[in-house]
Each structure stands twice: as C-alpha cells, then as structure tokens.
C-alpha cells in the first residue's frame, strides 16, 4: 500500500471512530431527553386513569348513603325503589352495573340481573368493605351470550347507626369505556396488575398479555423482544405491530392507589435520527478537513520532489536555461503554495468551527422540519415542560387517595395548598384576592387532602360565579376558636336557591356550561361531614355569596 493510501485508511478509520463516538454521546443525550418527556407522559396517563376511577369511586361513596338503599329492608317496595335508583345512576354514568348486597354478599337490589356467583375479585372487594374500608378489584364480567367485559369494581360500605356494616354497594366500571378517551394516544401505555397481566392499555393489541420482570411475553406467533441497558435505560426491540415502536425506551412506575403498575414504550426513532444526523455531520466535516489536509500534504511533497529535480537539472543542464527558467517559475508557485498551507489550515479552522455550530443547530432544525422556528420552539417546549412538572406534582398530591381518619391539621397549610392549586385561575380571571388570617397557627380535626379538595371546589365555584361580574372580589377568612372556620366570600350574583345548594345533582350553571354533574358541593358536604365538620352557604346582604366551613377545634 502506498504512503498516501495508508494515510487515507488512517483518516477513514479515525473518522469512523469519532463518528461512532459522536453517535453514542448524542444517543445518550437523546435518551435522557426522551426519558424526561416520557416520564411526564407516563405520569399524565397514570393521573388520568386514577382521576377517571376517582370519579366512579366518589359516585359509589355518594350513593351508598342514599335513603333509597336503606329502604331495602322494608320489603319488595323498598327493593324496587333501590333498583330504580341504581338503574337511574348507571344510565347516566356508563357504569356496567350496580348492586346493593349484604355484608355476606347476598344481593338485595341490582340495576341489572347478576348471573351466578360473584367472581373472586368481587368477593375480595366485598370482604374489604365488610371490614369497613372501600374495597376494589378488577376482572372480567361475563353474561350469557355476550363477550366478557373488563371491569374495575368498587365496594363501598354502608354503616349502621350503632356501628358495623349494614350493606355494601358494588359499582362495576367499564374499563373499555375509560380507554376510549385516550386509545391511540402517544406514547404506548399499558397497566399491568399484580398477576402481571396487561389489563388496561391504549394499544388494544397487547391486552391480556403477561409480564415477566417488566418484559412482555408475547402471544403465539408474535416475535419475542430483545432488551439491553444503555446508560442505565431499559431499551426494547420489538416487532408487535404497526402501532407500537420497533425500538422503544421502557419506563414504569407503581400505582398502589389502583393496585397496578403503569408502563410506557417511548419511540426511540426521533432520538436515533438526531444522533445519526449529528454523527453524519461530524463525519462530513472531518472528511472535508482531512481531504484538504491530504491534498495540501501531497502538494507539499510534490513540491519538494520538484525542487530536488530542478536543482539536479540546473547543475546538469545549464544549456537548457529557458526550460529550466520555466520549471523554476512553476516550482516557485508550488513552493509558495506549500508555504501557505499553514495559513490555509488556520483559515479553514474558522469556518470549520462555524460549520460545527451550524451542524448542531441544524440537527434540531431538521428534526422538526421547521428550520426557521425550531430553536424558538424548543426553548418554548423546555419552559412548558418545567410548568406541567409543577401541576401534576400538585394534581398527584391533590389526587392522592386519603384513607386516614380525621386528625389534627394546620388550616393555614391546607389553605396555602388550595390557593397554590387555584392561583393561576384566579389571576387569569382578574379576581382581586383578600386573605384574612391570624398570625399564629389554627388547628382543627380533619383530613388535609379532603379539606384541600373542599376549598379548591369553593374557590373555583366562586371564580365561576363572578364570570360575568365587572367587580370581581374574593375574600377568604380563617377564623380561630373552639370551632375554627374558613369563609369563602365572592362578589358574584349570589345563590339562587340556598336551601338546595348541597343537594346532589343540583347546579346553578347552564346546561353545557360545565362538565360536572352538580355533585361538587354535595361531595364537599360529605367530605366535611366525614371528619365531624359542617358547611353552610348563604347570600351576603351587600351582594355575593359566602360559604363557611366549620370544623372541630383541638386543644393547644
């Protein structure tokens, strides 16, 4: 191999090694970005599922105290009244079925007929409700002549006045109905239960598959997956269908509040394209620079050889002066070019650095195919990612299931939490906020999460009520005492029917103006009563409405 060939081979090897290194570095950077974005997407999906189930849980807790269910003990007329209530409820909520049973599981009333015995998962939920807690479970609901349906069951206990469980309300949620709201969304998300079965997913093709050590075991005829760890990330390579990524970053997190594990498959194709583009640009730059240097080196070497030959010819052939003069002129040009090689290298270094910078920016531009806006868009994306992190952290904390009994809490902290959840809405609507609170702490008996939910509901309702009011004023007062109070007053139009404000399904909003069913204040009423408090609403003499939450005080 010639010396020039050896240099070219070394150059090609060096370019290949550096390109692979650039690809690896860029790939790891893209994995970190994808992991952060994927974790946020997975958290949103998990919060959406728990939020959907929370609505049905609240419905079960609300209906269990309905007088019609207590009337079952009075015979067939009472049973008819209870079944009418349950049928009315499932017709308006999309629930699969509701049944009111004894603590032993004997059916007292049901919206739809129940065939055979309750499955094991329902029996376990009944057993937990019989112990006085809210029972949950999930499994298949089968009816004669129909395809089995996936269900998530809540079992809410009804307590006797003297203590003990009087009855249990079973509420079966249609899981497929939950999935319809987010099926096909990105990324691919699935929820596995304690047995490792994929029970809920926005990709129907993997429903019912089993999971072993976080790796899905495909059904017959589907190729298995291959896994590897890169920079601490779990990467999967699969071929399970057109709606699942072939190369994916696998993320997971436990959801103890619903007894499942949330998992996501984040498509790696954008990150790989970005890393490959970075490596290709670096290789192109290095090859261009190497080619220029090789050409300059070869010219310098040729110049040295020409100079040597010219010297020999001058000494040997003095008679051929004219020819020698022409060759010396040409040799002078080559020599000058050789002397300029160092300067050319320096001059090439400046555009090389610029090319490198343009290359790094260009990779981001080409990814979105919007070169004129990519940089600004990515900056904006970074700002929005920081803000969603903060609502979730708040929604997650806010949506956290609180099953503990009432205990001593500091009302100022609960009020601060509610204000943090609603400050953006208050500022957006241009509401003037006034907070009246004592200097010291105010303690009472209650639940932090439940009381925060009540305050957020009252504040949101107040802001809604002032939607068409020019003078928007919201005043929140924290009053200490033997029974501490929290008062929320607004400058809106007031309450049309104060005596009905806490009735279930009562709403002052126009039809279509809200997604709620008029249960907000009714649920708040039940939450405050659950820890021994009281809530009242009234119209103020000067206009507007005021809601007062009164709690049991504590000594010290």
Tokens coding 512:
């279509």
Please name which of 423, 429, 414, 527 lies closest in space to residue 478, comparing C-alpha atoms.
414
**What pLDDT tens digit does each residue of the chain (556 aa) get?**
677 777 777 878 888 888 888 878 888 888 999 999 999 999 999 999 999 999 999 999 999 999 999 888 777 778 999 999 999 999 998 899 999 999 999 999 999 988 888 999 999 999 999 999 999 999 988 776 778 889 999 999 999 888 899 999 999 999 998 888 888 888 999 999 888 888 999 988 888 777 654 456 655 555 667 888 988 999 988 887 788 898 999 999 999 988 899 999 999 888 888 878 887 888 888 878 877 877 787 788 778 888 888 878 867 776 665 454 334 333 333 333 343 333 334 333 434 444 444 455 456 556 656 556 555 544 444 544 554 454 455 445 445 555 557 789 999 999 998 888 788 789 889 999 999 999 889 999 988 888 888 898 899 889 988 988 889 999 999 999 999 999 999 999 988 888 778 776 556 555 444 444 456 787 788 888 888 889 999 999 988 999 999 999 886 5
Query: Residues near 251 by Cβ (< 8 Å), separated by ≥ 6?
Result: 35, 38, 39, 42, 234, 263, 264, 266
What's the CA gap between 503 and 494, in Å, rounded? 17
Please give the pLDDT value at position 358.
Answer: 43
What's the CA gap between 190 and 208, in Å, rounded? 11
Please give the pLDDT value at position 223.
Answer: 62
What's the CA gap between 456 and 423, in Å, rounded? 10
Return the DSSP state at 130: H
What are the distances in angstroms from CA 59 to CA 45, 48, 116? 22, 17, 26
Query: Residues near 44 by Cβ (< 8 Å), separated by ≥ 6?
Result: 388, 392
How far out from the chain centre does Cα 407 lie?
Answer: 31
**Cβ–Cβ under 8 Å, residues 431 and 472:** yes
Please give the pLDDT value at position 538.
Answer: 92
**Apex CA 38: angle with CA 37 and CA 44, to 5°?**
95
What's the CA gap between 538 and 496, in Å, rounded? 10
Please name which of 159, 283, 140 lies closest in space to residue 207, comparing C-alpha atoms.
140
Please give the pLDDT value at position 1.
Answer: 61
What's the CA gap between 307 and 329, in Å, rounded? 11
Please name which of 507, 458, 522, 445 lies closest in space to residue 487, comparing C-alpha atoms.
458
**Cβ–Cβ under 8 Å, residues 310 and 332:** no
Please name which of 39, 46, 37, 42 lies closest in space to residue 381, comparing C-alpha atoms.
37
Determine if residue 196 is left, alpha or beta; phi over 0 gives left, psi from -120 to 50 gives alpha, anything else beta.
left
Please give the pLDDT value at position 83.
Answer: 92
**Cβ–Cβ under 8 Å, residues 552 and 483:** yes
């Amino acid at each position: 191999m010639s010396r020039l060939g050896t240099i070219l081979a070394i150059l090609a090897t060096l370019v290949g090694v550096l390109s692979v290194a650039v690809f690896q570095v860029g790939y790891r950077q893209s994995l970190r970005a994808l992991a952060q974005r994927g974790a946020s997407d997975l958290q949103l999906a998990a919060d959406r599922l728990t939020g959907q189930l929370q609505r049905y849980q609240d419905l079960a807790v609300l209906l269990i105290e309905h007088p019609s269910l207590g009337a079952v003990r009075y015979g067939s007329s009472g049973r008819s009244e209870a079944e009418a209530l349950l049928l009315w409820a499932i017709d308006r909520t999309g629930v699969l079925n509701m049944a009111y049973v004894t603590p032993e599981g004997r059916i007292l009333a049901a919206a739809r007929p129940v065939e055979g015995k309750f499955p094991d998962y329902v029996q376990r939920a009944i057993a937990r409700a019989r112990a006085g807690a809210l029972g949950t479970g999930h499994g298949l609901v089968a009816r004669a002549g129909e395809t089995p349906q996936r269900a998530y069951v809540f079992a809410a206990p009804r307590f006797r006045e003297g203590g003990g469980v009087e009855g249990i309300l079973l509420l079966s949620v249609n899981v497929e109905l939950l999935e319809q709201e987010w099926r096909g969304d990105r990324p691919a998300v699935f929820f596995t239960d304690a047995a490792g079965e994929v029970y809920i997913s926005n990709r129907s093709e993997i429903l019912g598959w089993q999971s072993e050590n976080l790796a899905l075991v495909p059904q017959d005829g589907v190729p298995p997956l291959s896994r590897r760890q890169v920079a601490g990330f779990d990467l999967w390579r699969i071929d399970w269908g057109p709606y699942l990524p072939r190369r994916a970053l696998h993320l997971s997190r436990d959801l103890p509040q619903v007894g499942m594990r949330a998992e996501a498959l984040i498509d790696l194709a954008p990150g790989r394209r970005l890393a490959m583009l970075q490596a290709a640009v670096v290789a192109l730059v290095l090859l261009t620079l190497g080619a220029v240097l090789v050409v300059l080196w070869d010219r310098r070497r040729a110049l040295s050889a020409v100079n040597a030959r010219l010297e020999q010819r001058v000494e040997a052939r003095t008679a051929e002066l004219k020819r020698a003069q022409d060759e010396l002129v040409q040799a002078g040009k080559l020599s000058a070019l050789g002397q300029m090689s160092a300067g050319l290298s320096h001059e090439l270094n400046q555009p090389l650095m610029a090319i490198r910078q343009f290359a790094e920016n260009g990779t981001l531009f080409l990814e979105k195919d919007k070169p004129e806006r990519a940089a600004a868009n990515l900056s904006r994306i970074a700002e929005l990612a920081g803000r969603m992190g903060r609502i979730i952290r708040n929604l997650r904390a806010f949506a956290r299931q609180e099953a503990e009994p009432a205990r001593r809490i500091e009302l100022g902290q609960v009020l601060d939490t509610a204000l943090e959840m609603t400050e953006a809405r208050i500022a957006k609507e241009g509401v003037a906020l006034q907070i009246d609170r004592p200097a010291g702490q105010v303690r009472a008996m209650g639940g932090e999460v439940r009381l925060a939910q009540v305050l957020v509901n009252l504040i949101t309702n107040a802001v809604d009520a002032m939607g068409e009011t020019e003078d928007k004023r919201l005043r929140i007062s924290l009053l200490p005492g033997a029974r501490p109070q929290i008062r929320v007053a607004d400058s809106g139009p007031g309450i049309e029917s104060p005596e009905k404000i806490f009735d279930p399904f009562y709403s002052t909003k126009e039809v279509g103006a809200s997604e709620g069913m008029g249960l907000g204040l009714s649920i708040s009423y039940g939450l405050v009563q659950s820890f021994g408090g009281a809530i009242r609403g009234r119209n103020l003499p000067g206009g507007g409405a005021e809601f007062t939450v009164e709690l049991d005080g504590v000594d010290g």
